[in-house]
Amino acid sequence: MKEKFKSGFVALIGRPNVGKSTLMNQIIGQKIAITSKKPQTTRNKIQTVYTCDEGQIVFLDTPGIHKAKNKLGEYMVNVAEKTLKEVDLILWLVEPDTFIGAGEQHIAEQLKGIDVPVILVINKTDTVKREEILTFIDAYRKIYDFNEIIPASALRGQNTDTVVEEIFKYLPEGPMYYDEDTVTDQPMRQIVAELIREKALHALNEEVPHGIAVTIERMKQRKNAEIMDIDATIVCERDSHKGIIIGKKGSMLKKIGTNARYEIEQQLEMKVNLQLWVKVRKDWRDSELLMKNYGYIE
């Protein structure tokens, strides 16, 4: 007899850059959450949905839990903390290391007050020696009584199927929250904006770190044609940043646009005509009003 359908919400937590988005993309098999070498790439709570015969997992890609430095930081911490209490399971990603920093200790302390199963994934095990992995497991065992500890490589897809299996072990019987074709509840516009932001972060150097946002002014398919016209604006904090983003004779903006267009075309499966603009909004990260405009506050 077939077992009952299981379902639930899983919060992905962990320090910026540990590979949360990569793991989610690997499991879902499609690029939704953007990834980059720079920390704090994911600003929004992105829901991705994994459905199979056994059930359905709704992932919440929570921004990193860290100390807030400004309004945007505060918002991200709040989202993360609230999410933890409402989910069916917490999936905590860490780097393979025996040194457990104050940040991890802080998370472990927080988890002790929450009555939700916690699975620890020690990610990036492709970067360490096999025999070292046990020492990392032992170190993490000491700070929290995890339900499971799984070494994995999100990048290489090693043990990511085990992660999925173990999650199902802890999920309750439940309904199908989303139909089986759904992989995200993020509107396509937002995915497009995030892809452009990702390409900008990749192309720009440290001089323009996280002070950029992307807004989509227009996204419209041409009548009777497989062509999408997109007008988007990269918003930055300083005139000097604007110069860097545009580059010599527009070369940087062109590079960002070309890379973004290529990937948007893959996502939308149609030709894309992308027009990029750059605008300066001073201190937008500290302004609640501007954050509302850019979709970071509901």
Contact residues for ligand GDP, defined by CB under 6 A = 14, 16-22, 35-37, 41-42, 123-124, 126-127, 153-155
Smallest separation (angstroms) from Mg ion to the CB of 130: 27
Smallest separation (angstroms) from ligand GDP to the CB of 133: 13
- Residue 21 touching Mg ion (CB under 5 A): yes
Query: Does 64 belong to an annotated binding site?
Result: yes
Instruction: Determine the Cα–Cα distance for residues 30 and 21; give it in Å rounded to an integer.
Output: 11
Q: Which residues does residue 296 pair with via DSSP β-bridges, in sequence order?
A: none
**CA distances for 287 relative to 40, 65, 161, 173, 255, angstroms:** 19, 21, 42, 43, 30
What is the tally of helices (H) and strands (E) in the chain? Answer: 9, 9
Rank residues 26 and 233 by Cβ distance to ligand GDP and give the closer one: 26
Helices (H), 29-126: 71-86, 102-112
Q: Are 144 and 106 in contact (CB under 8 A)?
A: no
Query: Does 126 belong to an annotated binding site?
Result: yes
Which string of x and - marks every residue 93-122 that binds K ion (by CB under 5 A)? ------------------x--x--------
CA atoms within 13 A on the CB side of 220: 5
Query: Does 21 belong to an annotated binding site?
Result: yes
Selected from 26, 42, 47, 159, the binder of Mg ion by CB under 5 A is 42
- Residue 51 touching Mg ion (CB under 5 A): no
Smallest separation (angstroms) from ligand GDP to the CB of 94: 10
Q: Is 190 helix (H, G, I), strand (E, B) or coil?
A: helix
Q: Which helix (H) or strand (E) holds 252?
A: helix 251-268
Query: Does 19 belong to an annotated binding site?
Result: yes
Smallest separation (angstroms) from ligand GDP to the CB of 15: 7
Which positions lie near K ion, rule CB under 5 A?
Answer: 111, 114
Residues flagged as binding site for GTP: 14-21, 61-65, 123-126
